[in-house]
């Protein structure tokens, strides 16, 4: 998982071509609830609706620095809560009055795009921020209409389909402030690194 501001994105992607790992520290440590991060009450309600009571270790380590705008490169096991670790700071920092895409999450597969976008939508259900999944095997026209209808602030996309949209100029990323490359190691294994660099 990686969330970085766009200014340093190319350098960070280059660094990821080597194995860059940040092991989660503090397993078993006593943590306070999500309220301790100073999150918007609407996000806290979304967390409550999803049934989460206390942060997992990766969330404890990542949320605070990401809220402060720091770059993070981290690793966590499946089911450890890494999506929330980057989704909450991104949703917190999105400016809902700006009708443009401000956050981008790149994922390797269609299934992950749907899963991650669904988590963003559930977390942000009480906020104006909308999240749109973009992936191959689905109608381009349908995705374009979804962009126009929802005023998406966040896009969760597979690299190939997002490149198609960028080439057709049906997606504008000029207002994007935050980028996550989820499952970056799998992206490398699947040969997506050149597509990721082209997007960023």
Domain ranges, ordered by start, for the chain:
34-199
Q: Which pair of structure tokens corresponds to residue 49?
A: 């609706």
- The pTM assigned to this predicted structure is 0.82
- Computed from CA positions of residues 101, 183, 40, 38, in that sequence, does the dihedral angle turn out positive or negative? negative
- What is the rounded distance in angstroms from the CA atom of residue 133 to the CA atom of residue 120? 10
Name residues whose C-beta falls within 8 Å of residue 3's C-beta, 6 or more positions apart in sequence: 62, 66, 71, 72, 86, 89, 90, 178, 179, 180
Please give the pLDDT value at position 112.
96
Phi then psi dihedrals of residue 37, to 5 deg: -85, -5
**pLDDT tens digits, the chain, 200 residues: what are they?**
444 444 444 555 455 443 334 443 433 333 358 999 999 999 999 999 999 989 999 999 999 999 999 998 888 777 788 999 999 999 999 998 898 999 999 999 999 999 999 999 999 999 999 999 999 998 888 888 888 777 789 999 999 999 999 999 999 999 999 999 999 888 888 888 889 989 98
Name residues whose C-beta falls within 8 Å of residue 79's C-beta, 6 or more positions apart in sequence: none
Task: Answer for the pair 95, 177: CB distance below 8 angstroms, yes or no.
Answer: no
- What is the rounded distance in angstroms from the CA atom of residue 100 to the CA atom of residue 153? 6
CA–CA distances in Å: residue 55 to residues 26, 71, 81, 123, 178: 12, 20, 8, 14, 22
Could you give the angle at the alpha carbon of 49 between the alpha carbons of 43 and 51, nearest 5°?
A: 110
Just give the CATH number of 34-199. Answer: 3.40.50.300
């Amino acid at each position: 998982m990686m969330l970085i501001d766009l200014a340093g994105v190319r350098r960070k992607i280059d660094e990821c071509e080597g194995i860059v790992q940040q092991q989660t520290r503090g397993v078993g440590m006593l943590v306070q609830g999500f309220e301790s991060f100073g999150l918007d009450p609407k996000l806290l309600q979304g967390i409550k609706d999803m049934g989460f009571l206390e942060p997992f270790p990766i969330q404890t380590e990542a949320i605070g620095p990401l809220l402060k705008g720091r770059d993070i490169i981290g690793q966590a096991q499946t089911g450890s809560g890494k999506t929330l670790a980057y989704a909450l700071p991104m949703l917190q920092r999105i400016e809902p009055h700006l009708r443009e895409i401000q956050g981008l999450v790149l994922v390797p597969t269609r299934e992950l795009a749907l899963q991650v976008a669904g988590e963003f939508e559930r977390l942000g259900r009480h906020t104006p921020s909308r999240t749109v999944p973009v992936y191959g095997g689905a109608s381009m026209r349908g995705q374009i209409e979804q962009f126009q209808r929802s005023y998406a602030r966040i896009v969760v996309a597979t690299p190939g389909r997002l490149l198609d949209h960028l080439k057709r100029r049906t997606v504008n990323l000029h207002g994007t402030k935050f980028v996550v490359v989820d499952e970056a190691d799998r992206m490398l294994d699947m040969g997506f690194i050149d597509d990721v660099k082209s997007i960023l």
